[in-house]
């Protein structure tokens, strides 16, 4: 039995109930009806339960998912966390003034940094924070100072915390040979292709066409898989992210939008608009804000001189009263403070640990902590991002992208960059075996054409 993850109605419903609770929607009657029919309200962390529900329960789950979609969001939340771009802009602070141009070294650093940070997190994705520490300690890599390895790993630790199955053959120090494929790199490639083919005026329809033409359905997850399914079911791109989608506040859109910032150096407002257009296909509210924050922060990172400038640019495009902005501010508060790293991470997990490991809010807080505590130091930032757990490859990638852009490729540590061999594997047509320096040149050409 296939049991495709992130699509089974009986598994989506518990996630939808959790999302509704977070949004203060009253789903009491729906929850009781589901329980009374024999349904579980425990959301599966892995995306699918082992066995299928019977046809009647699956049909009921679809009906109840539609019922949840029809429950209005409380007015106070709609005001604090709008969806429409103009309303988001009205609720966000003013964007800062930044230098308008970048250079090849900084864009190259952003691509390389994204890859190295992602690669560090890949083999420990889905492993809890205590497992990451146990593995690193067992192999003499604690605090984390290099890629993970099996050399010297205690057998009991290995059995208790198995590597990510798909990443183990390509993402350990002893077998890294270039950057292996990952959705955290595939999506920036999709974005670069859109900017090259269509230009900055691309629409959400263009994003949908690109996904259907270039992304196999098995290469997308959570909200992206729901949107993909809805497109195939005939829903238009403008609504595909809003139908039976309990993952619209998760991290998927946040991992897609660095490239829009690199293509809009010093223009966080424009970068955020491109990110919103892309993210609208699959996300709403805080999911949108994650995409916009990263695009704006990346726009600053390729021109700015400090991490404070980067964080400020990111926060300038998201509603100040949103939960996303609060998560970033909390991560920054802990990052700028003097609490020891492990205690600060304990605090983040205590405050955000109720959320799924790929929700956007917990991962945003961790990202902000890693960026501010490191002060922009590349090696420290990606190590902290992965040490913190949750979505290790995605947060590692974004931290690496921002710090790599701040530093520039020429300043990045060789021990992190040399194993990439200037090569990226991808199933995106035309991008397999791409060279990072070539991707940087193409990105800079797009930035220059958009600035002309």
Mean pLDDT score, 80-90:
98
Q: What confidence tens digit (pLDDT) does each residue in 392-429 have?
A: 999 999 999 999 999 999 999 999 999 999 999 999 99
Confidence at 378, pLDDT banded by 50, 70, 90: very high
Determine the pLDDT at residue 239: 98
Q: Cα dist. 104→98, 114, 300 in Å?
A: 18, 15, 15
Q: What confidence tens digit (pLDDT) does each residue in 140-171 have?
A: 999 999 999 999 999 999 999 999 999 999 99
What distance in Å separates the CA atoms of residue 72 and residue 80, rounded to the nearest whole number? 15
Q: What confidence tens digit (pLDDT) does each residue in 41-66 have?
A: 999 999 999 999 999 999 999 999 99
What distance in Å separates the CA atoms of residue 136 and residue 24, rounded to the nearest whole number? 40
Determine the pLDDT at residue 19: 98
Determine the pLDDT at residue 451: 85
SS3 151: coil
What distance in Å separates the CA atoms of residue 67 and residue 234, rounded to the nearest whole number? 20
Confidence at 206, pLDDT banded by 50, 70, 90: very high
Confidence at 320, pLDDT banded by 50, 70, 90: very high
Q: Which domains does the chain have, with CATH numbers?
A: 9-72 (no CATH), 80-119+179-451 (1.10.4080.10)
Per-residue tokens: 451: 């600035």
Q: Which segment of 219-223, 342-346, 448-452 scores lowest on mean pLDDT?
A: 448-452
Q: What confidence tens digit (pLDDT) does each residue in 15-36 have?
A: 999 999 999 999 999 999 999 9
Residue showing tokens 């300043």: 411
Q: What is the mean pLDDT of the chain?
A: 97
Confidence at 1, pLDDT banded by 50, 70, 90: confident
Contact 262, 405 (CB under 8 A): yes
CA 131 from chain center: how many Å?
22
Closest among 421, 434, 375 to 399, alpha carbons compared = 375
Closest among 158, 178, 175, 165 to 118, alpha carbons compared = 178
Which amino acids are annotated as binding site for Mg(2+), given as ranges? 391, 393-394
Determine the pLDDT at residue 71: 98
Tally Cβ neighbours within 10 Å of residue 278. Answer: 29
Contacts of 127 (CB under 8 A, 6+ apart): 135, 161, 163, 164, 389, 392
Which amino acids are annotated as binding site, given as ranges? 391, 393-394
What distance in Å separates the CA atoms of residue 160 and residue 127, rounded to the nearest whole number? 10
Running DSSP on this structure, what letter comes out for residue 40? -
Q: Cα dist. 309→95, 250, 364, 402 in Å?
A: 11, 26, 17, 11
Contact 396, 120 (CB under 8 A): yes
Alpha helices, H only, 23-54: 28-36
Determine the pLDDT at residue 452: 74
Determine the pLDDT at residue 2: 87
Contact 426, 183 (CB under 8 A): no
What distance in Å separates the CA atoms of residue 16 and residue 68, rounded to the nearest whole number? 8
């Amino acid at each position: 039995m296939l049991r495709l993850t992130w699509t089974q109605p009986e598994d989506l419903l518990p996630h939808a109930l959790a999302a509704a609770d977070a949004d203060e929607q009253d789903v009491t009657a729906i929850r009781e009806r589901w329980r009374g029919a024999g349904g579980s309200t425990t959301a599966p962390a892995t995306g699918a339960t082992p066995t299928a529900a019977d046809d009647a329960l699956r049909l009921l789950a679809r009906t109840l998912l539609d019922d949840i979609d029809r429950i209005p969001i409380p007015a106070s939340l709609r005001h604090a966390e709008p969806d429409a771009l103009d309303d988001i802009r009205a609720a966000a602070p003013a964007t800062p003034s930044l230098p308008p141009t970048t250079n090849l070294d900084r864009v190259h650093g952003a691509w390389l940094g994204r890859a190295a940070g992602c690669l560090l997190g890949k083999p420990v994705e889905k492993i809890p924070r205590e497992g990451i520490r146990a593995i690193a300690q067992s192999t003499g890599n604690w605090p984390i100072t290099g890629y993970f390895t099996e050399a010297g790993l205690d057998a009991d630790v290995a059995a208790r915390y198995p590597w990510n199955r798909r990443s183990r053959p390509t993402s350990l120090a002893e077998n890294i040979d270039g950057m292996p494929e990952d959705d955290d790199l595939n999506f920036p490639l999709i974005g670069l292709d859109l900017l090259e083919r269509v230009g900055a005026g691309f629409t959400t329809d263009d994003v949908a066409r690109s996904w259907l033409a270039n992304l196999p359905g098995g290469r997308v997850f959570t909200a992206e898989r729901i949107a993909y399914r809805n497109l195939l079911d005939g829903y238009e791109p403008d609504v595909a992210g809003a139908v039976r989608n309990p993952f619209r506040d998760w991290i998927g859109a946040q991992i897609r939008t660095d490239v829009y910032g690199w293509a809009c150096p010093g223009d966080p407002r424009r970068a955020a608009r491109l990110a919103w257009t892309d993210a609208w296909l699959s996300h709403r509210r805080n999911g949108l804000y994650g995409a916009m924050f990263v695009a704006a922060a990346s726009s600053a990172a390729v021109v700015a001189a400090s991490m404070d400038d980067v964080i400020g640019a990111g926060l300038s495009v998201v509603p100040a009263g949103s939960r996303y902005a609060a998560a970033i501010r909390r991560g920054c508060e802990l990052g700028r403070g003097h609490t020891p790293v492990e205690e600060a991470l304990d605090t983040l997990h205590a405050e955000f640990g109720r959320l799924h490991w790929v929700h956007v809010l917990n991962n945003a807080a961790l990202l902000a902590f890693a960026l501010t505590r490191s002060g922009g130091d590349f090696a420290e930032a990606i190590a902290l991002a992965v040490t913190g757990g949750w979505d290790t490859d995605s947060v590692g990638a974004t931290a690496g992208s921002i710090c790599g852009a701040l530093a520039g490729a020429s300043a990045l540590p060789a021990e992190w960059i040399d194993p990439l061999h200037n090569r990226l594997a991808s199933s995106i047509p035309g991008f397999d075996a791409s060279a990072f320096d070539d991707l940087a040149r193409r990105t800079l050409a797009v930035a220059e054409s958009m600035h002309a």
